[in-house]
Amino acid sequence: MSTLFISDLHIDETRPAVLAGLQRLVETEASTVDALFILGDLVEVWVGDDDDGPVAASLRETLTAASRRCALYVMHGNRDFLIGPTFASDTGATLLDDPSVVEIDNDRVLLAHGDAYCTRDAEYQRIRALFRSTTWQTGVLASSLEERRALAASLRAKSIAANENKAANIMDVTPSSIQSALDDADVSLMIHGHTHRPGIHDLGGDRRRIVLGDWDRCGWKLRLDQGDAELTCFPLPD
């Protein structure tokens, strides 16, 4: 069995190369794997499944093409937590809870976006809890698409000012929170994104933590083939 993992594409209208890179990955690789997992922050912002803009339309098309070639799983990140069941059914994707344990090559693997393990950033964790609460999300989704676009634009302006998508500004995971997550799930392998610090970490014993990379100067993908893990950076189209 072959499985592909990506995360942190942060797609928006300002970076067409990233969307083009995803389209090319789907065309060239989705039919060579059994499943594609997107572990959060597929987009820079998602204002709701009723988004009728060009980026949302391209994403629907691209993910639909992916789900025709392999099983497609989408997990929320801290940017696209408003992706809902309508988008999932439109594209043939299955929404995955964060975290989730899935079986791959007869091994149980813990999948997560990763931000929940950055426990040293108390302020971030407070905002995370708010944004992921049903009450807050229901309130936002009750406002008009125009109001949500305005809210997204103001949050995005703040994010650019704060350079929030840069690894230096994202706190890394707390090692103890990783060990607890592995203990709780009773697994030896976890895969996550968010921190923009791609790598394969040997945690001792048979424990491993694989961190996916963000799509910026290149795209990042992890391919698991019968237990072999290959984490690579590949060029994005011009």
CA proximity to 65, closest of 84, 38, 93, 44 = 93
Region at 132 (left for phi over 0; alpha for psi -120 to 50; beta for the rest): alpha
Smallest distance from Mn ion to CB 111, Å: 14
Can residue 10 be called a binding residue for Mn ion (CB under 5 A)? no
Among 22, 78, 148, 209, binds Mn ion (CB under 5 A): 78
Among 11, 18, 25, 77, binds Mn ion (CB under 5 A): 77
CA proximity to 114, closest of 173, 46, 202 = 173
* CB-nearer residue toward Mn ion: 3 or 7: 7
Q: How many residues bind Mn ion (CB under 5 A)?
A: 4
* CB-nearer residue toward Mn ion: 159 or 188: 159
The two three-digit tokens of residue 49, written as one number: 């499944």
Smallest distance from Mn ion to CB 76, Å: 10
Q: What is the C-alpha to C-alpha distance for residues 37 and 11, in angstroms, rounded to an integer?
A: 16
CA-to-CA dists, residue 236 to 9, 72, 196, 221, angstroms = 11, 21, 17, 12
* CB-nearer residue toward Mn ion: 77 or 198: 77
* CB-nearer residue toward Mn ion: 23 or 165: 165
Can residue 194 be called a binding residue for Mn ion (CB under 5 A)? yes
Q: Which residue is nearest to Mn ion (CB)?
A: 194
Among 41, 51, 214, 216, binds Mn ion (CB under 5 A): 41
* CB-nearer residue toward Mn ion: 42 or 56: 42
Q: Which residues contact 82 (CB under 8 A, 6 or more apart)?
A: 46, 47, 48, 49, 137, 140, 141
